[in-house]
Structure 1
């Protein structure tokens, strides 16, 4: 039995799946979702963009929620996907698209925009004349990917498919959960997930900041350290396998 007792903060369905994987190796976890996904209602704009996918040399899907909603839109509007070049930031997002018959390129190492930008297939896709790229994502978010693609000569459009919110919790929900279940590690899967963790911690943040914090990328690690987190572990990916590797490499807390 592992000494880790982890707080999971992903959306409820993702935390449930991760909890099963952790339990198989003897790790206790407790879920307090800090990201609530609200799909943006389908619109004429969405229909027009989906109907014009063939005009893009690359279609990039940023996240698992974006992938699920994108598949629903393809089915809703009966859009053909033959010959389209799909890309995703990570393997889990690619798996959702692949399960619906889409051929998806993604970086073998890393679950962030930086890793995707190094993918040879994506660079080849935007190397033609007048390349156009579509990015499917949540509302708002980083601009790095679009900026780098524009620097390579591509024009970039967004199709925003959902909003991310912080579920409605009592102000003391986070520290009370950590204390009641004697949790000794925190897991976040995105920059916004960390921001919500920091926000919900409130006045208890200086105490919670001493707990090991497992994050998916150097960018989120930088955010956490800037906010005062004392032990930040970059899992180099957002998958369950990446978290398990990081847990094995990091010393277990002493009971």
Structure 2
């Protein structure tokens, strides 16, 4: 049984290596690419204004990395970093580890516990909502979904995710500001990659999905593809629903920890 790992790089390669170490054949076919901004003026301005926020929330490790890449030179130093904002919020362990790697102190970090197995805005909100007071300001650092020609896409993330969290914050009396730190979009697949993906739609491979956006890109990359013989493991109910809507015959939903994803894969062997 072959696994198709669709995460963004370098996480896709890291997950594939872990599966291969367990004796599984894993093919990397990323369905999302990320890149920096041509103009990071807004991100630098957010850094300069960071001390006015109660918390800064990051939607992914890429949001962390690109945000810190734009950090103005005068702000360097652990003391300056710790004084900028009381709290740093992360939706999951990958994002949390990225913040720690950039110098955020553990006591200043809020994130769902790794053993909980749910890493999204709803899980984060359960951790942080007691902190929020009317009049607080919260910064949400996110990416911007773009088309191959660079046009921004309409944000459809209304049911869960950053917009859901922003609405909870507003209901608690907080002011929410957004800043875009990077761009994310569909990859450019070669003919060989498209051929491998078409084969994997019918040869018993198991696709691993951690993003509903990735499934939209897959549909665009392979229009008209028949997925009625395909199998998938999805790490969120919304992602599982998107896979079923695309036509995947077998969709197993699991929590996004390595142990549970691996167990779901083994159940399909």
Structure 2 length-normalised TM: 0.81
SS of aligned partner of 2:217 = helix
1:115 aligns with 2:127: no
Matched residues in 2 for 1:162 and 1:198: separation?
Answer: 23
1:168 aligns with 2:207: no
- Two-structure CA RMSD over aligned residues (Å): 2.3
C-alpha contact (below 8 Å) 1:171/1:200 kept by paired residues: no
Q: How many residues align?
A: 242
Matched residues in 1 for 2:73 and 2:261: separation?
Answer: 35
Gaps of 5+ in 2: 146-154, 158-162
Q: What is residue 53 of structure 1 aligned with on the other side?
A: 50
Q: 1:213–1:59: structure 2 CA closer, same or farther, 3 Å change rule? A: same
Q: What is residue 82 of structure 2 aligned with on the other side?
A: 82
Which segment drifts farther, 29-38 or 176-185? 176-185
Aligned with residue 213 of structure 2, among 187, 192, 211: 192
Shift of the alpha carbon at 1:245?
A: 3.1
C-alpha contact (below 8 Å) 1:6/1:183 kept by paired residues: no
Q: What is residue 258 of structure 2 aligned with on the other side?
A: 240
Aligned with residue 12 of structure 1, among 9, 14, 33: 9
Shift of the alpha carbon at 1:198?
A: 2.3
Matched residues in 1 for 2:111 and 2:101: separation?
Answer: 15
Q: 1:129–1:12: structure 2 CA closer, same or farther, 3 Å change rule? A: closer
Structure 1 length-normalised TM: 0.85
C-alpha contact (below 8 Å) 2:44/2:71 kept by paired residues: no
SS of aligned partner of 1:130 = coil
Aligned with residue 67 of structure 1, among 64, 67, 71: 64
Matched residues in 2 for 1:242 and 1:75: separation?
Answer: 40
1:251 aligns with 2:268: yes
C-alpha contact (below 8 Å) 1:111/1:216 kept by paired residues: no
Matched residues in 2 for 1:157 and 1:145: separation?
Answer: 12
Shift of the alpha carbon at 1:42?
A: 4.3
Q: What is residue 216 of structure 1 aligned with on the other side?
A: 235
Shift of the alpha carbon at 1:49?
A: 1.1
C-alpha contact (below 8 Å) 2:134/2:172 kept by paired residues: no
Gaps of 5+ in 1: none
Shift of the alpha carbon at 1:34?
A: 1.4
Q: Deviations over 1:89-122 (max 9, x none)?
A: 1111111111222132111221212221222xx1
Q: What is residue 92 of structure 1 aligned with on the other side?
A: 94
Q: Deviations over 1:118-145 (max 9, x none)?
A: 22xx11221x241111111101552222
Shift of the alpha carbon at 1:6?
A: 0.6
SS of aligned partner of 2:141 = strand
Q: 1:197–1:51: structure 2 CA closer, same or farther, 3 Å change rule? A: same
Which segment drifts farther, 173-182 or 25-34? 173-182
C-alpha contact (below 8 Å) 2:8/2:32 kept by paired residues: yes
